Amino acid sequence: MADNEKAVLLRVKGLKVAYGGIQAVKGIDMQVREGELVSLIGSNGAGKTTTMKAITGMLGASDGDIEYLGRSIKGRGPWDMVKEGLVMVPEGRGVFARMSITENLLMGAYTRNDQAGIAEDVEKVFGIFPRLRERKNQLAGTMSGGEQQMLAMGRALMARPKVLLLDEPSMGLSPILVDTIFEVVRDVYALGVTIVLVEQNASRALAIADRGYVMESGLLTMEGTGSELLADPRVRAAYLGDESS
C-alpha cells in the first residue's frame, strides 16, 4: 500500500493553544498516517511540546480540532487517550522514582486488566531494553538519565500504543546514550508503532523520519519528507549548523 493510501490516524486542524496569556500555538494543520514516523523540529519555545500536550489532552485547545481514528478528541483527557492508544512519553521522563523498574512498567498498563497480556508485554519490553531486565528490581530514581528514558519509553509501550508521541527523548543525554535512544526509536518503529517525535536534535530526528514538520513561533513553516528537509538549505542553516547554506 502506498504511503498516501494509509489511514490517517491523527489529524490536527487549525489548532490554537493559549496559556498564561500567551498564544503558544497559532493555528496549525498536520497529520500522521498509520505506520509513519513523523518528526516535529524547531527551536526551544517554538510550541512543539505545547502541541503534543494539546494532542494528548494535557492542555486544552482554544480553537481548532484534533481528530484521532477519525473522531474528534478535543476536550478529552489523557486517561481516555491512553486507553485508546494515544500515548505520550513526556519531556523529562517522569518516572516514579520510588518504585522499581518492574513496578513502573506495570503502571504503564494501568488501563488494562489482561494479566497474561501484561506479563507478556513486560517480557517484550525487557527484550527491547535488556538493561531494564538486568535492573528490574532497582528503584527508578537511582537510574541514570538514559536508563530513565528507556524506562519511560518501555512504560509507554505497556499501553500498547497505536500512536506514540516522544517529547525530546535525547534531551540531556550523553552522545553515546543519544545513539542508544535513537536506535531504540528505530526498533519501536520497526515493530509497527506509529511515532510522532519532537526533537531539538534536528539532524537525528529527520534522518529517521518518513516526514517532518518545522515549527517556528507557534506556526508550522515547512513540511516534507525527512530527506527533503535535511537537504533544505533553510533547515540546514537554522537547525543543522550549516552556515554556508
Taking only the tens place, the pLDDT of each residue in 36-83 is 999 999 998 899 999 999 999 999 999 999 999 999 999 898 888 999
- Which tens digit of pLDDT belongs to each residue from 9-38? 999 999 999 987 889 999 999 999 999 999
CB 143 within 8 A of CB 135: yes
Going by DSSP bridges, is the β-strand pair 37-41/63-68 parallel, antiparallel, or unpaired?
Answer: unpaired
CB 159 within 8 A of CB 108: yes
H/E element holding 218?
none
Q: Band of the pLDDT at 4, cuts 50, 70, 90?
A: low
- Which tens digit of pLDDT belongs to each residue from 191-233? 999 999 999 899 999 999 999 999 999 999 999 999 999 999 9
What number is the average pLDDT over the span 134-138?
96
The Cα 128–Cα 125 span in angstroms is 5
Q: Which residues contact 39 (CB under 8 A, 6 or more apart)?
A: 196, 197, 198, 199, 202, 205, 206, 208, 209, 211, 212, 213, 226
**What pLDDT, on the 0 to 100 scale, is given for residue 2?**
57
The Cα 43–Cα 117 span in angstroms is 40
**What pLDDT, on the 0 to 100 scale, is given for residue 243?**
45
Which of these, 219, 228, 199, lies nearest to 29 by C-alpha position? 219
Domains and CATH numbers, the chain: 35-49+77-239 (3.40.50.300)
Amino acid at 234: R
Say if residue 1's pLDDT is above 70.
no
Amino acid at 173: L
What is the chain's mean pLDDT, rounded?
92
